[in-house]
Amino acid sequence: MERLSGYDATFLFFETPTQHQHIVGLTILDPATEGADYTFESFRSELRRRLPLVPQFRQRVYRVPFNLGRPVWADDPEFDLGNHIHRLQAPAPGGKRELADLVAAAAGTPMRRDRPLWEWQIVEGLDDGHIALIQKYHHSMMDGATGTEIRVHLCDLEPGARPEVPPDTWVPAPAPTAWQLLLATLRGLPPKLRLFALLAASVRILTGGLVRRLRTPRADRISLKAPRAPWNRAISAVRTVSFVKTDLGEVKEIKNAFGVKVNDVVLAVVGGALRRYLDKHDALPEASLVAIVPVNGHEMSERKEVINRLGVLRAGLGTDIADPVQRLRHIAGNTQRAKSAYVGVDFLLNWAEYFPANILRVLTRIVSKLRVADRIRMSGPANLAVSNVPGWFAPLYTFGLRITASYPFGQVMEGNGLLAAALSNNGDMDWGFIGCQDLLPDIDDLAEAVPLEIAELLAAARGLG
């Protein structure tokens, strides 16, 4: 039995019937891989064989009575692999839009709490002969970095590889009793003295941030109040997604030509795509949209027991700048200044230990039920999240099938009904957009704008020489 950290538990407390807290990945697999002999049964059998390598796949969340404390992870005595891997047939004609609709349906369906919080769907019948794997994990059990760790056990560097797996001797421990859960809560209460230290640290950080802001020229400051975009409203449970593949080499060529980071190019491309979208809908604000950018804190954090070790930065997306090169340069300077104001991830993780579970649950449900985001600007300091996840730089195989694409999709929140993500994949960069369908019915426009934005920046980069 292992108690969830305060930060990991927030993804459970923030969940409502419309605000799902799981992440989804779409992996495209090639059944024509040399030596592969795909069948759904053989795929499921190999997953079963590797279960000892991913023990978290057989653990579920147990809630503390009356939500008096954070839940715990413990074995699921009734674990059944059949509840977690399913076979689907893509609707005719089996194209990109049909596949996107299946991903959106998975993203819009809540996960059962009485089982381990993961699901796989194998999609057959695609028009190009490929197989799609839709993977769904609750954010309380995984972030981008921990997802990479799990991928190590479920993927191989060579086709047909069958790594050695220890014998499956798993015998589930009995489910924890209510008294055991309550006692675990009492033992896990954070010391009050640490709270005073956190309060003092908060004062120092806020003061330092205010001083840095006052020293920054007004034109270079990121507004503390983001303009409202069409998706900055109350969300429904229905999701919509779009995705596109681009050449990572072109992104790196742009990066090198202008002396910026890959993440700066990602933000500039997303900013340009959003500008096109908003201009088409006569909804382009005068001020720039602002993004929340997750930062991988696994290397910087000392809290090794925490699954989600993510910090965040705020970055302007330059949607108020028409020229793509000026936008990129502006974003690069913007993110550099944001990094200087970055708050260490352990500071956020330590504060999360004091979050009151019941208050978080009640407030989140009130906001959702009353559709508060339609009445007030809940987008606050940001309009959306933009994530750039480093992937892999060699061919990768899942149970003998080569991965040809891997599209990431995160979760959308009340007042922020859109998320954009990019993942590098063996020389490609795969982009995924997910949003509330009621607020973004034509999300395909965003994915279609990505290669156009890259083409403009690439032409400018090559023109420098």
Active site residues: 139
389 phi, psi to nearest 5 deg: -105, 120
- Judge whether 74 and 60 are in contact, CB under 8 Å: yes
As a whole number of angstroms, the distance between CA 46 and CA 256 comes to: 42
- Judge whether 306 and 7 are in contact, CB under 8 Å: yes
Helix (H, G, I), strand (E, B) or coil at 402: strand
In DSSP terms, which residues pair with 124 in a beta bridge? 89
For strands 118-124 and 59-62, give the pairing.
Answer: unpaired
As a whole number of angstroms, the distance between CA 87 and CA 43 comes to: 11
As a whole number of angstroms, the distance between CA 249 and CA 246 comes to: 9
As a whole number of angstroms, the distance between CA 424 and CA 220 comes to: 30
Whether a cis peptide bond, with omega within 30° of 0, leads into 93 is yes
Encode 242-284 in three state secondary structure: EEEEEEHHHHHHHHHHHCCCHHHHHHHHHHHHHHHHHHHCCCC
For the residues of 407-436, what is the DSSP string, one character each? EEE---BTTB-EEEEEEEETTEEEEEEEEE
For the residues of 282-321, what is the DSSP string, one character each? T---SSPPEEEEEEE-TTT-S-TT-S--EEEEEEE--TT-
